[in-house]
Structure formats: C-alpha cells, structure tokens
Amino acid sequence: MESPVGRQYKGARSRLIEELREKGVRDMSVLRALDLTPRHLFVPTGIRHRAYEDTALPIGSSQTISQPSVHARYLETLALKGTERVLEIGTGSGYQTVLLAHLAAQVFSVERIKALLDNAREAIKLCEVSNVSLMLGDGTYGWKAYAPYDAILVGAASPDVPQPLLDQLAEGGRLLVPVGSKDEQQLLLITRKGRTFNRETLTPVRFVPLLGDHGWNP
C-alpha cells in the first residue's frame, strides 16, 4: 500500500507521465516504470516539491538526478524486454536503478561516492524491488563478476568509451554512453557483434564527468 506521503505526490506523478507523452515518449513499459517509481524519494527533502518537474535536480556531492525525459529517452533507446541483465554505471540517486528494475530481470549498479550510494540504497529499499545489486567502486571498470551484460548504461560523460565496459558487453548487447569533453558530449549507442563494436551517434548531451581510471582522472 502506498504511504500517505506517496499518495500526496500521485497527482504530480500522473501529470509528469502526461507531459512525457506530449514530449514523444511512446514506450508503454517505460511510462509504466516511471509511473511505478516515486521520484520524490530520490531527491533531498528540501526540494521534494519539485520532484515531478521534468528537470534535473541537485542530490549532493556535486551530482544531479537527470530530468525524467532524459531517463525516458535512455530507456526507450535500450528497448528492454524484461529478461536482460543490466549494468548501470553511476547509481547516483538510485532513481534510474529502480526504473531499470521494472524493465529488466537483473540490475547491477556501481557508484563511486559512498554518501550517494548509502542514500540510494535506502531509497531503493523503500521501493521494494528485489532484483538490484549495488557496489561501491570505480564504475569505469564495470562489474566483472556478473558479466556479460545485455545492456550497459553510463550516467556520466567519458572522454572515450571505457574498454572494460566493452569487454563486459554480451553478444548483441547495447551500451549507452555520453562521450566527449567535460562540457559537450555525444550520446553513443554501441552494439556488440562478435569482436566488432558498431557505434551510432544519437544526440548531443551534457552530463557530469565520469571519474575513474578509464574516464576522467579524479
């Protein structure tokens, strides 16, 4: 049963879903995931009244939660069927982690900032999803123990595609990663075919830098 606090935001969540439809989000499974996921749990209490605006919001540690329409485009591009093993680089608030939990069979998420991971763990627990595993570490190395992955999402911008993530991509798997400078990037969709990695440039984006040994030097 949804808590009184959750019910308080139900109308705002419905309005956000309608706004995303108007902006062109068509994938019903993605819209359902957004409707099932209480975004207010993933933002600081002082800005919860803005949780269902289609905007990025600060979550501390110089990080942000991306705007819902960005999450929706990311997830529509991956076209998950519900059977996949997914790796998320940059747990951040944990919001996208829970969206993925509604769209895939297993979600593995890596975060390098302990304070963010601790907060995300608590918020994810409140969402009662049981198919998420979290790890504190350098996400540019991926999470080799559970590879290969059918899909990998990188929630920060890298100067190039981290080689360990390519290595951990399953045959036919898809990797979404923003690549470029710290100020401007292109969102790449990379698909693995044997030893070949087909790259498709999707759209210009702006993300926080991916810090780590295979990203930007911390």
Domain boundaries, the chain: 4-205
This model's pTM is above 0.85: yes
Q: What six digits make up the tokens of 85?
A: 């093993």
Catalytic residue among 66, 93, 109, 158: 66
CA atoms of 41 and 6, how far apart (whole Å): 9
Q: What is the pLDDT of residue 6?
A: 61
What are the backbone dihedrals phi and psi of residue 155, each rounded to the nearest 5 degrees, phi first?
-95, 20
Stretch (H or E) spanning 179: strand 169-180
Residue 1: the pLDDT is 44
Which pLDDT score is estimated for 7?
73
Known active-site residue 66: yes
Buried (b) or exposed (e) across 181-198, using 16+ Cβ within 10 A?
eeeebebbebebeeeeee
Q: pLDDT of the chain along its 218 residues, tens only?
A: 454 446 789 999 999 999 999 999 999 999 999 999 999 999 999 999 999 999 999 999 989 999 999 999 999 999 999 999 999 999 999 999 999 999 999 999 999 999 999 999 999 999 999 999 999 999 999 999 999 999 999 999 999 999 999 999 999 999 999 999 988 999 999 999 999 999 999 999 989 899 999 999 87
State residue 62's pLDDT score: 87
> For residue 90, which of 150, 123, 139 has the smallest C-alpha distance?
139
> Which CATH code of 3.90.420.10, 3.40.50.150, 2.60.40.1260, 3.40.50.2300 fits the domain covering 4-205?
3.40.50.150
Angle at which helices 10-22 and 68-78 pack, to 10 degrees? Answer: 60
Characterize the bridge pairing of strands 57-60 and 63-65. Answer: antiparallel
Q: What pLDDT was estimated at residue 4?
A: 42
What's the DSSP call for residue 90?
A: -
Angle between helices 28-36 and 68-78 (to 10 degrees): 140
